[in-house]
Amino acid sequence: MFNNRIRTAALAGAIAISTAASGVAIPAFAQETGTNPTFNNSDNFNDADGSTIQPVGPVNHTEDQLKALTDATGAYLDEFQNGNIRSVVNEYMAVQASPDGFDPSEQAAYEAFEAARVRASQELAASAETITKTRESVNYALKVDREATEAFEAYRAGLQDAADDINNTGINPLISAANAANETSGFLVGNYNALYTFSISGPTPLLNPAYNQLKRLQAEVNEDLVWLGEWAIDNRHNDYVTRYHVPAVEALKAEIDARLEAIEPLRADAIAKNLEAQKSDVLVRQLFLERATAQRDTLRVVEAIFSTSARFVELYENPENINVEGTTLRNHYKALYPGLFDAAWFNIGQLNIADFEAEAFFLHWWTDLPTNDEEAVYDWAKLNFAIETYAKILINSEWQEDVAYVQNLDSAARQEAADRAAARAADEAYRAEQLRIAQEAADAQKVIADALAKEAENNDGGDNSSDDKETGSSDIGSWGPFAAIAAIIAAIAAIFPFLSGIVKF
């Protein structure tokens, strides 16, 4: 199937080398996400970049539909694969489409790169959906292939059992018994050859010839019984029907009829299911899955290039372009380009191989020549695909971790700036609150002073006659200022509740 897949060994070697260099054991199978809350957090995987698990059922997206879906993504990636930088810039920077001439400003460049990033993200999300549809398609083709295989095996078993019972002269001598009882010369009733001429031991015997032989045998036996029913058949002493002949032929007919009655539904089911299975090719669909996955991996790099470019330009004369680890953030982003371009070269190379194989085997598979059972070849292809996929996860981690490192530096710097701004805002708010409290205290003191002055003025102009002294009114009047002060303090306490725990009346 994949005659030129040298890359499988190369990628597997990359795993071995990286494993040996790092001293880390790479598990044969990925650990199920979400089962260990200490080490696994499935929230970091998302549908948009095809990193989440997508359980799929059998859905018959045809090979033509899969080709159309991957061709649409291929049209977007075509200029990147061909290395036509002029077309890339013109397509994604909208140079010739700009109505007022090309704008050479950094802001215009940022907006162009950001728009290109958004487009790449959209293509990546569409590619992830294509992968899911392709897996559904593979699932369907496998399902109908397996159903056809099971129906074929049931049909073959029915024919084999019939052959064993009808042909076997040792256990159930139906044909030999009919032959032994034959004494007629006008029609040799029992001269039947062995029922089947095909090899039942072969991996894919043709069953229709054997079925036709059984049907011809049924017709011949029916004709024999008609001949044996002739009144004048006993016309010589050595040419007659014995009393054992008709029961032997009738037993043969009963067995043939019963076997065909059981075989007919098996035959109809096998034919219907194989016709459906012949409408799809799991191996071609598997290749489109590999093509869609290679497109996804390439789109991830393209998206990262545009994202890096947008942020690099955005940091021009930007206060966020601070010094981190000995250089500016902008220089950190600039340093990502060589690794990103190497990653693009690698993934586009893998995509070119996947494109070629999908196109080359779209209409023809050599496995269709010797057998209709593609399961074994598919299992081999799936295993190779898994090895390549896990190897590319390791290889692509190089550029992904570099990008993540710089983005983490950028995020930490922005968080630090945000924290400083929040601290300044909190400090300013605190100072404003203290000024408000001080102003309210000053206003309260002024109210107290005004009240005391007013009370003093009232006391100076009051009547101190002898009648008042006799009734004790002078003693009550002497408490007037204190009562006014208490009322004022009570008003202040209403403004400052914490004073109520201190002031007692």
Question: Tell me: the pLDDT tens digits for 102-118?
Answer: 778 889 889 889 989 99
Handedness of CA 122, 125, 129, 131 (dihedral sign): positive
pLDDT confidence of residue 366: 66
How much is the pLDDT for 93? 65
Q: Which residues contact 162 (CB under 8 A, 6 or more apart)?
A: 195, 214, 256, 259, 260, 263
Max Cα–Cα distance, the chain, nearest Å: 179
28, pLDDT greater than 90: no
- Quick one: pLDDT at residue 455? 73
Those residues with Cβ within 8 angstroms of residue 53's Cβ, 6 or more apart along the chain or in another chain: 33, 45
Beta carbons of 247 and 135 less than 8 angstroms apart = no
Quote the pLDDT of residue 248.
86
pLDDT at 123 over 90: yes
- Residues 152-177, mean pLDDT to the nearest whole number: 78
Reported as a pLDDT band with limits 50, 70 and 90, residue 466 is: very low
Average pLDDT for 386-392: 93
**DSSP state at residue 301:** H
Most confident listed range (288-297, 418-427, 480-489) = 288-297
Which residue in the block uniquely carries the two structure tokens 């030999």? 176
Q: Distance between CA atoms of 70 and 356, rounded to whole angstroms? A: 13
Residue percentage of the chain with pLDDT more than 70: 73
Locus of tokens 């005659």: 3
The answer to whether 284 touches 362, Cβ cutoff 8 Å, is yes
pLDDT at 485: 62
Indicate the pLDDT class of residue 31, thresholds 50, 70 and 90: very low
Structure tokens at 159: 């024919």
Which residues neighbour 464 within 8 Å (Cβ) at sequence distance 6 or greater?
Answer: 474
pTM of the model: 0.72
Residue 503 has pLDDT above 50, yes or no: no
pLDDT of residue 18: 41
Structure tokens, 214: 């059984």
Helix, coil or strand: residue 425? helix
pLDDT band, residue 150 (cuts 50/70/90): very high
Instruction: Give the mean model confidence (pLDDT) for residues 445-452.
Output: 80
pLDDT above 50 for 252: yes
Is 23 a residue whose pLDDT tops 50?
no
Nearest CA to 284 out of 152, 348, 370, 374 is that of 374
Helix (H) or strand (E) holding 327: strand 327-328
Residue 365 dihedral angles phi and psi, to the nearest 5°: -130, 130
Q: What is the mean pLDDT of residues 458-472?
A: 54
Q: Which residues partner with 239 through β-bridges?
A: 236
Quote the Cα angle for 338-310-101, to 5°: 110
pLDDT of residue 32: 33
Least confident of 62-76, 282-296, 486-500: 486-500
| The predicted structure's pLDDT at residue 82 | 86
- SS3 annotation, 179-195: HHCCCCCCCCCCCCCCC
26: DSSP letter: P
Supply the mean pLDDT for the chain.
78
> Using the 8-state DSSP alphabet, how is residue 35 labeled?
S
Q: Which contiguous run of DSSP H or E holds residue 133?
A: helix 106-167
Q: Which of 158-172, 216-230, 241-255, 264-278 has the highest mean pLDDT?
A: 264-278
- Residue 164 pLDDT more than 90? no
> Average pLDDT in the 476-482 region?
52
The closest alpha carbon to 367, from 285, 284, 290, belongs to: 284
Lowest model confidence (mean pLDDT) among 91-95, 250-254, 329-333: 91-95
Can you list the alpha helix ranges (DSSP code H) found in 230-336? 245-277, 282-314, 329-334
- The DSSP secondary-structure symbol of 479 reads T
Do the Cβ atoms of 336 and 400 come closer than 8 Å? no
Average pLDDT over residues 319-345: 92
pLDDT band at 482 (very low <50, low <70, confident <90, very high): low
pLDDT, greater one: 176 or 369 = 176
pLDDT score at 476: 44
Q: What's the CA gap between 478 and 468, in Å, rounded?
A: 12
pLDDT, mean of residues 231-250: 78
Residue 50 has pLDDT above 90, yes or no: no
pLDDT of residue 47: 85
Q: Which pLDDT belongs to residue 443?
A: 82
CA nearest neighbour of 251 among 190, 165, 159, 174: 174
How would residue 29 be classed by pLDDT, with cut points 50, 70 and 90? very low
- The reported pLDDT for the residue numbered 92 is 66
Distance, CA of 43 to chain centre: 14
From residue 344, give the alpha-carbon distance in Å to each of 117, 305, 357.
Answer: 15, 9, 20
Least confident stretch, 181-185, 276-280, 435-439: 181-185
Is the pLDDT score of 13 beyond 60?
A: no
Return left, alpha or beta for 58; rule: phi > 0 is left, psi -120 to 50 is alpha, else beta. beta
Look at residue 175 and tell me whether its pLDDT is greater than 80.
no
Residue-level pLDDT at 204: 64
pLDDT at 88: 73
Give me the pLDDT at residue 493, please: 59
DSSP summary character for residue 32:
P
pLDDT at 66 over 80: yes
